Chain A
């Protein structure tokens, strides 16, 4: 079956603009994660959904970051008033309902803020 997909793959934004990044998880996967990967670093956790419920948003760096998954499938990560430090690759992962099951990652969205 299809893997995790993300769009757009690349996004260039001017400082101060709002952006929306989309994630389509593997069909039937209950859990969905967002991670941020800065250049040369490992991914860092942002937020976690179980179905439509956002159970953990402890990794969101500021209140400019907002994520939603209204129907328990597709998720959107929104960044308001983008700053240069928001430039990174944003990765989405999904996994089945099993506790600590393997997370499968999408190709990521590379965000560049000018």
Chain B
């Protein structure tokens, strides 16, 4: 069975500091997909990134970057120069390429990030 662990329940940093959110996953499949979603106070899950298991290249998008390491089964997310608008709950999720044509997501328990002005 697949599992996602986000060990950091809550993190608080002062604005403009860098912060890294950890994600460790477990799966028996060789083909799988990893995601990060942001859930602001409004409650809607906002898609941030999707990576497949064959692409270990790190990705940068503005102040956001992701570090995917299959050797440690980790998919960490770093926010550089954090801003108050980054305050939210962040979820890491895993999907396996199964037989139904589109597979369910397994989520971690989330990390609540608070950026202090």
- Interface on A for B, CB 8 Å cutoff? 30-31, 33, 35, 40-45, 48, 50, 55-56, 59, 89, 91, 93, 95, 97-108, 110
Report B-chain residues with C-beta under 8 Å of the C-beta of A102.
35, 47, 50
Task: Indicate if B91 sits at the interface (CB-CB under 8 A).
Answer: yes
Contacting B97 at CB < 8 Å: which of A97, A99, A110?
A: A99
For B, the interface residue count at a CB cutoff of 8 angstroms equals 27
Task: Indicate if B114 sits at the interface (CB-CB under 8 A).
Answer: no
Complexed CA–CA distance, A68 and B106 (Å): 22
B44 closest partner in A (C-beta): A107
Inter-chain contact A42/B110, CB cutoff 8 Å = yes
Report A-chain residues with C-beta under 8 Å of the C-beta of B44.
105-108
Inter-chain contact B101/A31, CB cutoff 8 Å = yes
Contacting A42 at CB < 8 Å: which of B43, B96, B103, B107?
A: B107
Least distance between B19 CB and chain A CB atoms (Å): 19
Inter-chain contact A45/B104, CB cutoff 8 Å = yes
Task: Indicate if B64 sits at the interface (CB-CB under 8 A).
Answer: no
Report A-chain residues with C-beta under 8 Å of the C-beta of B97.
99-100
Complexed CA–CA distance, A55 and B91 (Å): 25
Report A-chain residues with C-beta under 8 Å of the C-beta of B110.
41-42
Task: Indicate if B76 sits at the interface (CB-CB under 8 A).
Answer: no
Least distance between A95 CB and chain B CB atoms (Å): 6
Task: Indicate if B72 sits at the interface (CB-CB under 8 A).
Answer: no
Complexed CA–CA distance, A103 and B93 (Å): 11
Complexed CA–CA distance, A41 and B106 (Å): 12
Report B-chain residues with C-beta under 8 Å of the C-beta of A106.
44
Inter-chain contact A42/B91, CB cutoff 8 Å = yes
Report B-chain residues with C-beta under 8 Å of the C-beta of A103.
47, 105
Query: Which residues of B, 42-95, contact A by the 8 Å Cβ criterion?
Result: 42-47, 50, 91, 93, 95
Least distance between A8 CB and chain B CB atoms (Å): 13
Complexed CA–CA distance, A41 and B110 (Å): 7
Q: Show 5 A/B contacts (Cβ-Cβ < 8 Å), sorted by A.
A: A45-B105, A56-B104, A100-B96, A102-B50, A105-B44
Q: Closest 7 CB pairs between A and B?
A: A42-B107, A105-B45, A45-B104, A31-B102, A107-B44, A55-B100, A100-B33
